[in-house]
Amino acid sequence: MNLISNIEKYNNWINDNPNKVNKKIKAVYGKLLGDLQNGKTVEFLNKETGEIEKKEYIFDAKKAQRPIYFFEKFCRHSKGKWANQPVKLEPWQKALFESAYGFVDKNTGLRKYKKVVLFVAKKNGKSFMSSGTGLYGLTSDGEGGAEVYSVATTRDQAKIVWQEAKNMIGKSPALKKRLRRTISGIYYDKENGVFSPLASKTDSLDGKNPYYILEDETWAWTDLSMITIMEDGVSAREQPLTFETSTMGTVRERVFDNEYAYCEKVIKGYLGEPGGIIDETILPIIYELDDKSEWKNEESWYKANPNLGVSKRIEYLRNQVQKAINDPTKLTNLLCKDFNIRQNDVNSWLRYEELNNEKEYDEFKDCYCIGGCDLSSTTDLTCATLLGYQNGEIKVKQMYWIPSNNLEFKINDDQIPYDIWKEKGWLRLSKGSKVDYRDVTQWFLEQVEEFDLRPLWVGYDSWNAQYWCDDMKEHGFDMLEVRQGAKTMSAPMKQMKADLSDKKINYNNNPILKWCLSNVSIKQDENENIRPVKEKSRQRIDGAVSLIDAYCIFIEKQQEYLDYIR
């Protein structure tokens, strides 16, 4: 008798509930259903022979069912309303495990998937699934001397999955009989197996021979070396498994974004879309909203929360959504953790209506000023600023530089009209492949000689600025270091925001400064002090930082400055 598989059942559910499932999940399970029904032949390059070889993969129903049977037969819940009760996996969980374990090499019987990636919103049981997977790998996957490691950025985080596994053992008579628990590990003495937590700061990551790697909350990882070391260590195992689980997070352009981007490429490969790749060793399961705007649509909540109504109460989510509606400052965390939309641990600093000032001045000359500068070498912009109080307003004048060799690249890469800004006089080219800081000194001298704009002090960031600072001092400028931290920059930034909002700052409608101001986000410390950061690597905030540096001196020296201009 042919029984319908859990992959087929889940696909049927998806077809019946299309508004509750995101595009990525539809693509992945559509592909898996095709592989189940038709088999899969994969071509690959044999690096030793240089020849193209083929592997044929089939679906083994018995192997697909083994981890599901293990969970529901031997694992028990350790907390909450289901404490002590046997586990009953939900359809989406059964489909995941069946997919991970059921597809095997037709000739060897070894698993196709070497890595499973599960990105899902919080309170959907990912740690529980990871813990049970670790226990299955330790005891029931046919590997002698299995080494299972729960890994994370800190040992405390790594112990969450491992501790849940210990708790499961305590609730299960069958597992309790077979496994030995200590303060540092879980041991399967019959097969010389071990299950331990490890952290990225652990000195002994090298030398391990892992069979299962349980990577937890990779959104917080800032160092790729832990993944590299652990995943390189599985080479001696025939069918190792990495089980990576995470919510979305706020650490951008580090390990997690690399992992997410790779999964996206694999899924695009299923669909035959541009930028897609073929990798039949990784199974990417990503539960998220298709679009940020869906967060108020209750039916869409299931896209990021497949266990909604089971381990995650819908009343809880309704309350969280209402809180975010009432208090927009809570929206970032809600989108990130409850709807699995990647966010930054930053907030936008200025609304467009606050930063926009289209007023221009006829002239800006014959004035004591305060200078600021943000230096760069190749990628970012270098910006010099002068601000002065004149005719009842704070006037700002700036100049920007990029290396001449990088002009075409930056126009194409940033999609910004640097060439037009150069023609308009907002930006200058510095010869070569990096900015010559003597060009910056020359600009300050021009302002003194041609416009009688006399900076009393020039604020600067000390990073990479020693030679330039010495050059400026030799030409008679009084240089003051501005420490680039929240404690120093917070009060001036808050005053600058108020002055921008009140249109007290006339920056001559400079389009580059306007662009830079719009790119600034803020990071806040525990004392609510703020500092500027950029949300994405290609955004430029250098003009804003240069103005902030000048504002830091403006606030620090305000009384002394006012005495000069009276």
> Residue 444: which region, alpha, beta or left (left: phi > 0; alpha: psi -120 to 50)?
alpha
pTM for this predicted structure: 0.67
- Which one-letter DSSP state was computed for residue 337? I
Q: State the helix-helix crossing angle for 126-139 and 61-74, rounded to 10 degrees.
A: 110
CA-only gyration radius of the chain, Å: 29
Q: How confident is the model at residue 377 (pLDDT cuts 50, 70, 90)?
A: low
Q: In sequence order, what are the beta bridge partners of 303?
A: none
Using DSSP, state whether 110 is helix, strand or coil: coil
Report d(CA 529, CA 490) in Å as an integer.
5
Q: In sequence order, what are the beta bridge partners of 531?
A: 523
> Residue 404: which region, alpha, beta or left (left: phi > 0; alpha: psi -120 to 50)?
alpha
Q: Give the model confidence (pLDDT) of 279-301 as tens digits.
A: 999 999 999 999 988 999 999 99
Does 399 or 333 have the greater pLDDT score?
Answer: 399
Please state the rounded mean pLDDT for residues 463-491.
Answer: 92
272 pLDDT higher than 60: yes
Using DSSP, state whether 482 is helix, strand or coil: coil
Does 200 or 517 have the greater pLDDT score?
Answer: 517
The backbone torsions φ and ψ at residue 460, rounded to the nearest 5 degrees and listed phi first, read -150, 155
DSSP string, 281-336: TEEEEE---SSGGGGG-GGGGGGT-TTBTTTB-HHHHHHHHHHHHH-GGGHHHIII
The gap from C-alpha 291 to its chain's centroid, in whole angstroms, comes to 17
Whether the CB-CB separation of 97 and 132 falls below 8 Å is answered with no
Q: Give the model confidence (pLDDT) of 493-506 as tens digits.
A: 999 999 999 999 99
User: Tokens for 322?
Assistant: 């209402």
Lowest mean pLDDT among 170-184, 283-297, 416-430: 416-430
Report d(CA 147, CA 193) in Å as an integer.
6
Domain boundary assignment for the chain: 6-325+331-338, 352-565
- Domain 352-565, CATH number (from 3.40.50.970, 3.30.420.240, 3.40.50.720, 1.10.40.60): 3.30.420.240
Q: How confident is the model at residue 69 (pLDDT cuts 50, 70, 90)?
A: very high
Whether the CB-CB separation of 241 and 132 falls below 8 Å is answered with no
Residue 478's closest CA among 400, 401, 543, 560?
Answer: 560
Give start and end residues of each alpha helix (H) in 76-125.
91-102
pLDDT value, residue 204: 54
Cα dihedral across residues 93, 94, 98, 99: positive or negative: negative
486 pLDDT higher than 50: yes
User: Tokens for 255?
Assistant: 């390990």
Residue burial 101-128, b: 16+ Cβ < 10 Å; e: rest = bbbbbeeeeebbbbbbbbbbbbbbbbbb
Does 416 or 435 have the greater pLDDT score?
Answer: 435
Q: CB-based contacts of 395: which residues, under 8 Å, 6+ apart?
A: 361, 364, 367, 387, 388, 389, 506, 507, 508
**CATH number of the domain located at residue range(s) 6-325+331-338 in this protein:** 3.40.50.300
The backbone torsions φ and ψ at residue 501, rounded to the nearest 5 degrees and listed phi first, read -60, -35
Q: Give the model confidence (pLDDT) of 210-223 as tens digits.
A: 999 999 998 888 76
Does 257 or 5 have the greater pLDDT score?
Answer: 5
203 pLDDT higher than 50: no
